[in-house]
Structure formats: C-alpha cells, structure tokens
Amino acid sequence: MLVALPSAIAFGVTIFVAASPSLAGAGALAGIVGAAALGVTAPLVSRNSGFITAPCAPAAAVMAGFALQLAADGKLTADQIVALLALTALVSALLQFIYGAVRLGRVIKYIPFQVVSGYLSGVAVIIAVAQIPKLLGVPKGTRFWEGLIAPQQWGLPDVIVGVVTMATMFLAPRLTKKVPGAIIGLGSGIAAYFLLAIVRPGLLQLTNNPHVIGPIRASGSFLDAVTARVGALGHIDAAAIALVLGPAITLSALLSIDTLKTGVVLDALTRKRHDSNRELIAQGSANAVSFLAGGIPGAGTMGASLVNVTSGSRTMWSSVIEGGLALVTFLVLSPLVAWVPTGALAGILLVVAIRMFDFRMFKLLVTPGTRLDFVVIATVIIVAEGVGLIEASLVGVCLAIVLFIRDQINGSVILRKRDLREARSKRRRSEEEALLLGERGEQAAIVELQGNLFFGTTDQLFSELDADLSSRRFILLDFRRVQSMDYTAGHLFHQMHERLHDGGGELLFCGMPSSLPSRQDIQHYMSQLGLVGGGEGITIFDTRDSAIEWMEQRILEYAGWVPQEARPPLELGETSLFRGIDPVLLTELGETARSFNLKAGELLFSAGDAGDEMFLIRKGRIHILLPLEAGKRHHLATFARGDFFGEMSFLDQQKRSADAEAGSDCQLYALSRDAFETVIRRHPEVAAHFFGHLSLAMGQRLRVTGAELRALEER
C-alpha cells in the first residue's frame, strides 16, 4: 500500500487537473478510492496471488490526454469532462472483461516487445512532459518549451520540493530496502515544503494554495455516489459512446498489457503460472467497481506487486489487505493528504516516467540487425507524443504486422531440399534399381516447407525453386511443418503446377496438416481454390514416403526399367543371399525352404509372434509396419522381389518386433533356422557364404538407416 498509494494520488491529481486546475483535491480522492476499490476487487475475482492492482501510469497518460483534448475544445464544463472520463473507464473495463471472456489473454501477451516498449516509453514521455511544468511551477497555460527556457517564471518552492523528492527516491534504495522509495521521497518532499514554509509563511495557508493538493471533500455518502453513477448510465447516448470509444480501446489495451507483463515477471519469481484470461476478467471487474466507487482505473502494477511478493506474499489475501489499507488511509489520513505538495507528486511521477522509459532501446542502434527494432520503438514513441496514444496503438499494430512479415521474409520457408540421390523411399531397391535412381535421381526434388506461406514469403519461395522448375520432372512439397497459407500462395502453386505440367512433369503435395487445432486445414482450403482434386488437380499423398516411392517408380519407368511386379518369380538361387552357391548344395537348401503365396493385404506375422523363419521374396511387395497406440502403425520399410526380411528372429530366435503385411500378391520362400542348421552341419561352406552375404546386406541397410537419421538431425 505504501508503494501504490503515493503514485495513485499523483495519477488522480494528474488526470483531474487536466480537466480543471481546481479539481486537484477531487483527483487525489479518486486516486485513493481507485487504489482501494482495485486492490480489494481484483484478487477476489482472479484468485491469482501476488498481483497488486492500483492506478498506474498508462491510465494516467490516456485519461489525462483525453481530458486535455476535451478541455481544449472549450465546449464542456469540468463536470462534463469528468463524467466522460468515468464513462471511458467503464467502457475500458467492459472491454477488458470481454478480452478475458473470449480468451484473448494469451494473444495480448504475444504483442511484440518492440511495440510494448514503444507504448510504455511513449507513456513515460507523455507523463514527463505533463509533470515537468508542475515540477517547475510555471503558470498555468504556459507552453512547455517557453516554461522550460524561462527560469524567471519558475516557482521556487515547487522546484525545491520536486528535486528533493526525486533525489531521495533515487538514493533511497542505497540506504534501505525495507521502506519503499516512494514513501521516503514523499516524506522528504513534504519535509522540504514545511522547511520552506519557515521562510515563506504563506505556504502554510491551505485555501487557494497552488503548491499543495488542497482540501479533499467527498460530496454526500458513498451510497449516494454509487447511486448517482448507476443513474448516470441511463443518460448515456450513442454520441458519448462514440466519443470515448477510441480512448477506451487504447486504455483497455495498455492496462491489459501492463497487467500481463507484471504477471510474466511474477511467474518467474513464484514459479507458478497465472491464469491470464481470468486476470483480465478480474481487472475488468475491478475497474468497473472503481468506476462505481468514483475511483480512477488501474492495472496490475509492477512495483507494488514485486514488493508484495518479495516481502513474503503467498496468497491473494495480501493483495486484498493492501486495498483495505488504502481505504483505511482514506478514512483516517485524508486531512493530511491535503497538505501533500504538488511538486512532490510531480517528482514521484517523473521518477516513475524515467524508470518506465526503455533506455536499452538505444543499444539497438549499435548493430545493423537491430536498427529496425529501434525504428519501431522510436516511431511508436513519436506518434504517442506528437499525435496521441490512440494513433500510436494503431501504428503499433501495423508495425507488429511489419515485424512479422520481416521475420518471415528473413527466414526461408524452405527447411530442406534434396533429390532422389540423397533421399529414398522405405522400399528396398535392388542394386540395379538403386544404380538407376542414383544416375537419374536429380529429376525429382523433395522440398520440405516450414512456417507460413503468404504474400510475404511466396515470391522468395518461387525464386528459390525457379531453377528446379526448369530442370526437374517432379517436385514434391512436404507441408508437415507449414502453419498456414493464403490465396497468394495458392496462386503460386497453380503457376508451378502448370509450368511443370507443360514440361511433362508434375507438382506433388504430401503431409497436409489438417488435424492440429493450431493449424489451418490447408488441404480443405486448397480444395476450395480448385488446386487439388479432379483430373487436372495436384496429386496429394498421405505420406512423404508414398510420394517418394511413386516418383521412384516413374523415374525407373522412364528409364525403361521393367517393374518387379511384371517379372516372373525368382528361384532360390536367384536371390541375393544364395546367388553363386554350388547347384548341388542349392538343391539341398531348396528342399528345406518352404514356398508359399500371400494375397494383397494378408498378414504374414504380427509383432510379438514367435518364430525362427526368415523370408525371401520371389515376387510382390511386403510392408513392415510398427504397431503404435490407438491401432495406428508406422511404416518402417517395404521389401520387394529378390529381397529378404525376418532375419532378426532367424538369428536370435526372439519374438517378432513388427508386423509384416503383403502390399501386393506375393510369392515367398520361408527358411527356418532349424532346417538351415541341419544343412550347414553337413556343409559348413554354405554357412560362410550365407552369413557373409547376410552381413553385407545388413551393413548396407544400417548405412541407409544412418543416412536417414542424419537427415532428420540436419538443420
């Protein structure tokens, strides 16, 4: 409370004096009431521990700026301006409640820090510009620069009190951390004021004294005030809503950012996670209660919250007690608050502004890579001071979009690009097929995309693939890491598809992200654009492996390679493991090998089955599938004519580790370990031949697996 209350009084005075210099006492009262209402209500609704909700600098900047704007028109009385300020606070509170209800808390936290820094630094500049004349004590109506360069117009008591207050606040942390610097500064300023009163007795006069807040009077009872506020709501018209809507939106955004920024810091200290959406609902509720009670709006403030937590706060009740103590201060000490010097309040607010201003922004000028970030921060500050916070908020949003586009453009949307000489499908190829694919693999490219495909990145994508579109027959785009795409990206893909098609090639898609809630249903969007589906549409494969296998088959066909499925079944001696064995021994082995057929889709064995047989494929394809949870299976490999599988159980006679399923009609040989042992006991030379070929084949498979693992680790 000792940290929050002096600033709350200063903020209240700043807002109300902007409407009329005679309202300083009413402003101090509004600041105290706001501190009490906000402090008690917010923690009871949010249940988040640590937060101290009180009037804050962004609220003072927006509300005072709006009051000055209304007063400059000269068409409204001071009471009418105060009523519009109250309406602004109420609309802002309702907006904060809506932000939390529709779960925008997390979105607000993701506003770029450059924009937040610009906002808060702009608020700091606005506060400083407003308080420096009060610190100097220049006459009301004097222009800022005129008062700054005319020392003869300065009020000596205000200057002395303000400088003493500021100096004490800066020095206080070095002397003690048990008493908040704002309290020490305020006490020093008051002491300096009364010491000056010894020389100038006129300073001890309370009535019409421009150097102090003045009498704090509450007209009527608290119940009467609430009734009057509620009754005033019935007289609000559309014109009033339209007038306050812009400042209310700005106020709600700044108060929400200030609160959530405080929450992030508190989470780091307490090692907890606050509920940002519930906190916004609580802040909206607290500001609405502050409106009814006659207080000014506020947010979860950093300084008071940090003091609260570091002093030992563990529950929300410390925050409730803070608000209660502010109310007690109002009831007991309000006569003394009247003697608080305005110079001391100006000094407190100038220290707040100095600490709020992000001086680290100037470090961004040192390196070229961060100068654009400095430009963003500086632009928001300039617009906030030169035009207004409402306009600065719009500029900040636009700059946030520019920052997003810049980040997207700076990073390529192509994660990795390879051709079929570097990436192969999980289908095991014969030596002849592997040789052909090695020679002609440059005809097909696999391009892994990432991020967002929109107007800011599509031109770069087209430029990076321009040479591939001219030299390759197939281009496969992998969308597994793509978050979203827009119409511009769809138009680009249509151009790529037509360009490849004119050259006798094809554009292919795979890995469409459509199930994750954070991602756009890209395949459905492409269907709406007419990119996929139909005879002329782009072909989509469920998996990258199936797409790569399809491209391999097309390249082999173009090379004149006869598909394995079209060739006659292999005999045992034609398989890679037994090629070159003595015909007599081969006949004996053939008697132990079992020949059988499988229909497409038929299961040969399942994971967990016992068995000691290995299998040699005479014709057809076998898929090896790893069972996963929820009935899903992961495709490990595809074996075709002339290849073998099941060797692990053949060697160690353990249970099967995966499923084997026929991908087409198959003819196979099965060779059991027991039968093989019978042959090699009589003919040991068969064992040397067989295990030599088996070791070589397994070594080649391990090399392929190693290459796949390296590809996964590439960045």
Domains annotated for the chain, with CATH where assigned, are 4-403 (no CATH), 415-561 (3.30.750.24), 572-713 (2.60.120.10)
Instruction: Give the sign of the dihedral formed by CA 105, CA 111, CA 117, CA 119.
Output: negative
560: left (phi over 0), alpha (psi -120 to 50) or beta: left
Please give the sequence-ordered ranges of beta strands (E in DSSP) within 344-443, or none if there are none: 414-419
What's the pLDDT band for 196 if we cut at 50, 70, 90?
Answer: very high
Provide mean pLDDT across the span 282-296: 93
Residues in a beta bridge with 416: 448
Return the pLDDT at 683: 85
Return the pLDDT at 90: 93
Return the pLDDT at 92: 95
Is pLDDT at 110 greater than 80 in this prediction? no
What is the spatial distance between Cα 338 and Cα 1, in angstroms, rounded to a whole number?
18
Sheet of 414-419: strands edge to edge?
414-419, 444-453, 474-485, 506-510, 539-541
- pLDDT per residue as tens digits for the range 532-568: 876 678 999 888 888 999 999 899 988 888 776 778 8
Contacts of 321 (CB under 8 A, 6+ apart): none
- pLDDT per residue as tens digits for the range 493-512: 999 999 998 888 999 999 88
Return the pLDDT at 671: 92
- pLDDT per residue as tens digits for the range 654-706: 999 999 999 899 999 999 998 888 888 888 888 888 888 888 888 877 877 77
Residues in a beta bridge with 427: 638
Return the pLDDT at 48: 84
What is the spatial distance between Cα 527 and Cα 361, in angstroms, rounded to a whole number?
47
What's the pLDDT band for 454 if we cut at 50, 70, 90?
Answer: confident
8 Å CB contact between 656 and 634: no
Return the pLDDT at 220: 53
What's the pLDDT band for 280 if we cut at 50, 70, 90?
Answer: very high
Is pLDDT at 517 greater than 60 in this prediction? no
Is pLDDT at 583 greater than 60 in this prediction? yes
Neighbours of 412 (CB within 10 A): 15
8 Å CB contact between 570 and 642: yes
Alpha helix (H) residue ranges in 311-388: 317-337, 342-356, 371-386
Is pLDDT at 515 greater than 60 in this prediction? no
- pLDDT per residue as tens digits for the range 397-406: 788 777 777 7
Q: Report if pTM > 0.85.
A: no
Provide mean pLDDT across the span 372-391: 83
Is pLDDT at 473 greater than 80 in this prediction? yes
Is pLDDT at 327 greater than 70 in this prediction? yes
Contacts of 596-599 spanning 24+ positions with Cβ under 8 A:
596/667, 596/668, 596/670, 597/665, 597/666, 597/667, 597/668, 598/662, 598/665, 598/666, 598/668, 599/662, 599/665
Is pLDDT at 715 greater than 50 in this prediction? no
> Which is higher by pLDDT, 210 or 217?
210
What's the mean per-residue pLDDT of the chain?
A: 85
